[in-house]
Structure formats: structure tokens, C-alpha cells
Amino acid sequence: MKPSLYFRPTNLQEALTALSANSWSVLAGGTDFYPARLGKPLEENVLDVSAIDGQEKISFNDGRWRLSLQATWSDLIADNRLPARFDGLKRAAREVGGVQIQNRATICGNLCNASPAADGIPNLLALDAQVELMSLQGRRTLPIADFVKGNRRTFRREDELVTALLVPDSGRPARSVFLKLGARKYLVISIVMVGAVLELAEDSRIVSARIAVGACSPVAQRLPLLEEGLIGRRLETALADMVHERHLAPLAPIDDVRGTADYRRDAVITLLQRSLTELAR
């Protein structure tokens, strides 16, 4: 067995240099890292990014919110500066494991783990978040949908580090929601979840709509047809009635221990209807 490395850099440059020189597993909050390795010896190089400093965990600049790689779910929940468009993501944050997990797990880590049932991803899609990747080659950004490749796979290159999530904020009034269906109250993996963000004009007409569904496909999916149908409508109309089976085309639910594909198809319609009802409330 070859000896493996552990490196906990304190600045970004060290981290990127290490990534360019070697193959590493990136460790942030550890809450997905350890469960995935239960009962197996550690035989990999581990880059622990938890000590990289120099950046505010959550900041706002030039019309964009920046959630840095150190930001945990608890940081997000506690941040009172975040506008209403983040309400859905905050609700998702409260559903990520128990408070113990929320205190350690990072938002970026949840995305990089790329579980089909990751509670954070539907609302990140609905927030139109961009992923910031850094390497010695430079910086690039990708939309969430172009970052997550599949079940537990992303398009991050081996020499890259996800350094932040960037959330555009038009400053327009917005509403957001997150609904999760699980078989118990706490510590539960989603059967189906819906995240949505609507941006509104002064007259409460919907000017942009982003609605994403999780746990019904290898990667959480937005529902463009439904979104298009919402644009231009007023919030007070019976939005829930607009949800139609044909909107679910991007989804590919499966049977697993948490529920059948048929059940998921049925339940997601209900969750979408309830999400829209709640947004209009």
C-alpha cells in the first residue's frame, strides 16, 4: 500500500499548486467524505480545504452573492442579510442532516458530492447559481447544470477547486420555496423535492421563474416548460393549476427503497402545485 498524503493548506495558492501536482480527494466539512469510506481503508491523497482563509464566507458584490467554499449550511441559515430569494435554500439548509451536519457541511461540498438527492441543488438551480472553479490555469465559472455531470460525478477537473458559488441578484423582488418529501421528520433522504425562485415586477407579474426538482433524475432538473408558462402571470392567479404532467419530461424517476417511480411522478406534481400555491401566498 503506497503511503497517502494529507495536506491542509492555509491559502488558495498552496491548494491550487498541490492540485496541479498530484491527484487528490478534496475534503471540506467531511460529512460526505467519511460515510463514503466507512469500513474501507483510506488509500488516497486528501486535500483538506477547510483552513484556506482570506475570504468572507458569504458576501455581496457587484450584484452577486458569493458563497465561499467555507460557507456551511449553518452559516447560510444564520445570515440575515440574504434576501428572500434565498429563503428556499435556507429551508433546504435546515433539512440537510441534523444540526450537527449543518454546522460542518459546506454548500460547495454538497454540490461537489453530486448526490441525486442533494437537498441543496434544486434551489441552487432555481437561484441560477454559477460555480466558480480555480486552478493554476485560471478561473472559470459554470452554471450548476453544466457542472453536475451525473450521479456523484461533476465536470470539475482534477486540478481545479470549487472556490465559490455565485448567485446573481437582480435586486427585483423575489420569492422562493423548498419542499421536501421524506418518510420521517429529521435526518431523511428526500423521495422528491422541489426548489423554486420567482422574480417579480412591481405589479407582481412574474418576470422570471426557475423551478427545479430533485431526487427524480440522476441530476436535479429544471422544468423549462412550466417556467415559461409562468412568465407574465400574476402571483395571485391560481398558479398551481398550471402544473401538468408534460412539464415533467426532463425527469427520469426510478424505483428505490424510498419509493417507486410511479409514486415519485405522482408526488412531484403535488409538490409543484403546493410550491406554486405557497409562492403566491
Partner 1 sequence: MTQQSIRFTVNDTPAEVSVDPLRRLADVLREDLGLTGTKIGCNAGDCGACTVLVDGRQSCACLVPIGQAAGHAIVTVEGLVAKGQLSQLQQAFQDHGAAQCGICTPGMLMAASDLLAQTPSPSEQDVLDALGGVLCRCTGYRKIVDAVLSLGKTTAAPVSRNAVVGARLPKVDGLAKMTGAERYGADSWPADSLVLRAIRSPHHHARFGFGDFAALFAAHPGLVKILTAADIPGQNVFGIYPTGKDQPVFAEGYARFRGEAICALVGDAATIAAIRDDEVPVEWETLSPLQGVEAALSPHAAQLHETAKGNVLIEGRLARGDVDAAITKADIRLSDNFQTSFVEHAYIEPEAGYARRVGDRLEIFATTQTPYMDRDEVALIMGLRQEQIRIIPSAVGGGFGGKLDLSLQPMIGVAAWLLNRPVRCTYSRPESMASTTKRHPASIAITVAATKEGRLSAVRFHGDYNTGAYASWGPTVANRVPVHAMGPYHVPAVYCTTRAIYTNDTPAGAFRGFGVPQAAIALETMLDDLAEKLDLCPFEFRYLNALDKGSVTASGQRLDASVGLRACLDALRPQWERLRLEAADFNETSRHLRRGVGVGCGWYGIGNTSLPNPSIMRIGLKRDGCITLYSGALDIGQGSNTIMMQICADALGVPLSIIDLVTGDTDLTPDAGKTSASRQTFVSGAALRLAADDLRGQILRLANVGEPGRFALDGRTLRVSDGVTDQVIDLARLPAAGENGDVLVGEGRFDPPTTPLDADGQGIPYATYSFSAQLALVEVDIELGTTKVLRIAAAADVGKAINPTQVEGQLHGGVAQGLGLALMEEYIPGRTENLHDYLIPTIGDVPPIDTYIIEDEEPLGPFGAKGIGEPALVPTAPAILNAIRHATGARVTRVPATPDRLRAALRATGRYEAAK
Does 22 engage in binding with partner 1 (CB under 8 A)?
Answer: no
Q: Which stretch binds partner 1 (CB under 8 A): 125-133, 148-156, 168-176, 182-190?
A: 182-190
Q: Which stretch binds partner 1 (CB under 8 A): 54-62, 101-109, 123-131, 215-223?
A: 101-109
Ordered alpha helix ranges (H), the chain:
12-21, 33-36, 73-78, 87-93, 99-104, 107-113, 121-126, 144-147, 224-230, 261-280
Does 260 engage in binding with partner 1 (CB under 8 A)?
Answer: yes
Does 281 engage in binding with partner 1 (CB under 8 A)?
Answer: no
74: helix, strand or coil: helix
For 218, the enclosing helix (H) or strand (E) is none
Q: Is 122 exposed, middle or buried (0-12, 13-18, 19+ CB in 10 A)?
A: buried
**Nearer Cβ to partner 1, position 88 or 97?**
97
Given 9, 29, 88, 109, the residue binding partner 1 (CB under 8 A): 29
Number of helical (H) and strand (E) elements in the chain, helices listed first: 10, 14
Does 39 engage in binding with partner 1 (CB under 8 A)?
Answer: yes
Residues 6+ apart with CB under 8 A from 29: 50, 72, 101, 104, 105, 106, 109
**Nearer Cβ to partner 1, position 88 or 259?**
259
Residues between 42 and 81 that touch partner 1 (CB under 8 A): 42, 46, 48, 50-51, 74
Enter the C-alpha cell of residue 65. 452573492
30: helix, strand or coil: coil
**Nearer Cβ to partner 1, position 5 or 136?**
5
Number of residues binding to partner 1, judged by CB under 8 A: 54
Q: Which stretch binds partner 1 (CB under 8 A): 11-19, 140-148, 164-172, 268-276?
A: 268-276
In angstroms, give the least distance from the CB of 142 to partner 1: 28
Cα torsion 147, 150, 151, 155 to 10°: value is -40
Instruction: Answer whether 231's CB lies under 8 Å from 208's CB.
Output: yes
Given 59, 103, 141, 204, the residue binding partner 1 (CB under 8 A): 103
Residues that bind partner 1 (CB under 8 A): 1, 3-6, 8, 27, 29-31, 33-35, 38-42, 46, 48, 50-51, 74, 94, 97-101, 103-104, 181, 183-189, 191, 244-245, 257-260, 262-263, 266-267, 269-271, 273
